[in-house]
Amino acid sequence: MKRLFVAGCLMMACLGVMAQRTTQNLNEHWTFRFGYEFDKKAGIEVNLPHTWNAQDGAAGNLYYHRGIGNYTKKVMIPSEWKERRVFIRFEGANNIAHLFVNGRIVGEHRGGYTAFTYDLSDRLNYGEENELWVRVNNSEQLDIIPLVGDFNIWGGIYRDVYFVVTDKACISPLDYSSDGVYIRQTNVSEKKADVAVKTLLSNSGDTPRHLTLHTTVKDGDKVIAEDSKKVELPAHEAQMELTQQVTIRRPHLWNGTEDPFMYQTIVRVMENGMAIDEISQPLGLRYYRFDANEGFFLNGKHLKLQGVCRHQDRAGIGNALHREHHEEDARLMVEMGVNSLRGSHYPHAHYFYDLMDRYGIVTWAEIPFVGPGGYADKGFVDTEALKANVRQQLHELIRQNGNHPSICVWGLFNELKSQGDNPVEFIRELNDIAHAEDATRPTTAASNQYPDDMNLVTDEIAFNRYDGWYGDTPNTLAEFLDAFHREHPDCKVGISEYGAGASVFQQQDSLTQSVPTSRWHPENWQTWYHIANWKIIRERPFVWGSYIWNMFDFGAANRTEGDRNGINDKGLVTQDRKTCKDAYYFYQANWSRNPMVYIEGRRNIERRHAHTQVMVFSNMEQVSLMVNGKEISTQKPDDYRICTFQVDLQQGRNILSVKASNADGTLREDSVEWMLMN
């Protein structure tokens, strides 16, 4: 009897496990061939994430392949899944994807940067091998954004793919491919926070289900708040919406990089005391506001948003990033002292937003509604087909990512122009959609047009400025900001892009302004540019945030400048992530609290002038410089964390070393070797 009892318990436990949702990663062992290859034997085996442009898209080839790529995979479907529900989820395929199962079309997704999900339950042959076939198309289309862009439109299934297997009654993953749980926080303060949790339930079965929806907010293992609601879920119910309210007293707030604390919200669907489905979501409670005169405030305290823009590609792999690549990018940002991100110019991977939550980086997430900037063509065509796609991608952005506490603004466009088909009325429509989707977050946009009515639609506005790179000097940035603030005193203004190109292989002793379209992008001009621009931005408290273009060098096939084709080299870090440029350390000295010291110009090894200037970046109390073992002087860094020394080099080899110290005994050192040439 005891054995029967134990066996029965084990069976019940197995049934309980089977009732919960499970996932099966589908990244491995796909066969890939281009659309023009009809021979079945032409395919090669690839693993996802994958892009077919990893090589030609990174070589400065204007004609990198933009067309159709075919992905096929055979997968065994267990017999027991027949009594379950089987979904397939694609995290991203650029930019049109048609899915076929066993040769039959399942659906089409139009948009390269958001997830899409299909219910395959009635399409599969259970207990047999099934074929998945995905036709992905990254060709230019006039009815899918982005229409243009100064970045590569990489083709392929470049994010993860997996099965999600659930009970026939489940939390629906089919609402714009969201998780089916929407968390909105209101009335947040140090005293309490009210949280609304909306859950979408679905039942594909032939009988109604009597369920309990149980929502719990937990701090580790401790239950902070909970709510239960009984529901009868009808048979063949595509989607039933239920909202639960919970209040958290004296909440521990998500406080940016200082304290990115998060609760967990767990939503369980219960039947007869057993969980048949479950979703866990982060809950970072915070309140914030933008002020036209004083900038951004998080949890009642002023916070200067010191940000970077990021493109998601890197050398050798294009945009087919793995988790470790996202983690390295986030680590480099954190080490520099970044506290805000602009995810340009499209929704980034869900895992990267998870990292932004975890590190406390205030995030601007946007749709790929991108204009031509300084180039030809258009970013907006006034057709219903295009507008429908923009609306779809905005819904997807917000519904898929709205639970991330790091995301504080929704971006609606970048560098559109009002000449010809004027997008202003449509931007107003998008602004209304964003507010209807999420009343808790403001909208913003990145403009390079002034004056223009499109600048006055979103809740905040920011400008892409390159004063001192594309002509002019940084002084024109100061003039622009002061004039805009004077003419629009109620507008909340930021800087969405500013930057300059630099090659770590191109060095010069003198400081001369670069020609952007030339082959000569010396590193020291980028450094000087950033020092001058940051001074202007920092001195203006009404600028709510600024975003360096760009954190990393990235692929742009149209570029023929700097040390090689196909690269936009405005990054503070090289595309392979192996070298941080000098400007990176200027910001690290100004933005990071971790003690550091760095000698600027370290790669300018061959020197032509015996009497030269040595610039050192440090956030420590005092810095001492030695040249060839002789102490030159000790200085306190200025307000911008810079020490400037005048030295005389000897002919041939010179060793320069610095020691930076704090009163508590903390010590940091750096050194370089320079050669004084004849």
Structure confidence at residue 42 (pLDDT): 86
Question: From CA 624, how far away is CA 34, in angstroms rounded?
Answer: 60
Q: Is 415 left (phi over 0), alpha (psi -120 to 50) or beta?
A: left
Q: What share of the chain is helix, strand, coil (3-state, %, to 5)?
A: 20, 40, 40
Burial of 286 (0-12, 13-18, 19+ CB in 10 A): buried
Structure confidence at residue 4 (pLDDT): 34
CA distances from 136 to 72, 113, 383 (A): 11, 13, 24
Sheet containing 116-119: give its strands across: 22-25, 161-166, 85-90, 116-119
Residue 81 makes CB contacts below 8 A (sequence gap 6+) with 124, 126, 165
Question: From CA 101, how far away is CA 124, in angstroms rounded?
Answer: 7
Q: Closest by alpha carbon to 345, among 524, 547, 518, 146? A: 146
pTM: 0.95
Cis-peptide into 95, omega within 30 deg:
yes
Structure confidence at residue 17 (pLDDT): 43
CA distances from 592 to 157, 332, 587, 588, 632 (A): 37, 12, 8, 5, 27
Question: From CA 525, how far away is CA 626, in angstroms rounded?
Answer: 25
606-676 homologous superfamily: Immunoglobulins (2.60.40.10)
Structure confidence at residue 19 (pLDDT): 56
Supply angle C-alpha 583, 587, 589, rounded to 5: 115
Phi, psi of 234 (to 5 degrees): -65, 160
Residue 471 makes CB contacts below 8 A (sequence gap 6+) with none
CA distances from 287 to 186, 193, 297 (A): 8, 10, 8
Q: Which residues, in sequence order, are bridge partners of residue 182?
A: 198
Return the amino acid letter for 603.
R
3-state secondary structure (DSSP) of residue 430: helix
**pLDDT per position as a tens digit, 14-29:** 334 445 899 999 999 9
Cis-peptide into 146, omega within 30 deg:
yes
Which structure tokens are listed for 151? 């970045």
Cis-peptide into 345, omega within 30 deg:
yes
Q: Which residues, in sequence order, are bridge partners of residue 94?
A: 156
Question: From CA 146, how far away is CA 144, in angstroms rounded?
Answer: 6
Structure confidence at residue 10 (pLDDT): 33
Question: Tokens 């290859």 belong to which residue?
Answer: 37
> Would you say 437 and 393 are in contact if contact means Cβ atoms under 8 Å apart?
no
Q: Closest by alpha carbon to 343, among 298, 394, 308, 370? A: 308
Same topology between domain 17-168 and domain 288-499+522-554? no
User: What are the boundaries of each domain within the chain?
Assistant: 17-168, 181-283, 288-499+522-554, 606-676
Angle between helices 475-487 and 523-538 (to 10 degrees): 30
Look at the alpha carbons of 313, 361, 92, 398 in this order and tell me if their dihedral is positive or negative: negative
Structure confidence at residue 281 (pLDDT): 97
DSSP 8-state assignment for residue 120: -
Largest CA distance in the chain: 96
CA distances from 558 to 112, 185, 316, 368, 375 (A): 20, 44, 18, 19, 10
β 305-309/543-548 pair status: parallel
Residue 137 makes CB contacts below 8 A (sequence gap 6+) with 35, 67, 68, 69, 95, 96, 97, 98, 155
Given the residues 91, 366, 396, 415, select the one marked as catalytic: 415
Look at the alpha carbons of 279, 280, 281, 283 in this order and tell me if their dihedral is positive or negative: positive
Cβ neighbour number for residue 319 with a 10 Å cutoff: 30
* Fold observed for domain 288-499+522-554: TIM Barrel (3.20.20)
Q: Closest by alpha carbon to 208, among 237, 228, 179, 229? A: 237
> Would you say 188 and 248 are in contact if contact means Cβ atoms under 8 Å apart?
no
17-168 homologous superfamily: Galactose-binding domain-like (2.60.120.260)
Half-sphere exposure of 72 (CA within 13 A, CB side): 16
Structure confidence at residue 198 (pLDDT): 98
CA distances from 265 to 40, 99, 133, 184, 222 (A): 48, 33, 36, 12, 12
Return the amino acid letter for 547.
Y
3-state secondary structure (DSSP) of residue 617: strand
Question: From CA 584, how far away is CA 499, in angstroms rounded?
Answer: 12
* Fold observed for domain 181-283: Immunoglobulin-like (2.60.40)
- The average confidence (pLDDT) of the chain is 95
**pLDDT per position as a tens digit, 492-535:** 999 999 999 999 999 998 999 999 999 999 999 999 999 999 99
CA distances from 331 to 346, 552, 577, 586 (A): 21, 13, 11, 17
Question: Tokens 């050669």 belong to which residue?
Answer: 675
pLDDT-flagged residues of the chain (< 70):
1-19
> Would you say 213 and 259 are in contact if contact means Cβ atoms under 8 Å apart?
no
Q: Is 166 left (phi over 0), alpha (psi -120 to 50) or beta?
A: beta
237 in active site: no
Cis-peptide into 442, omega within 30 deg:
no
Phi, psi of 421 (to 5 degrees): -60, 110
Question: Tokens 């540019």 belong to which residue?
Answer: 529
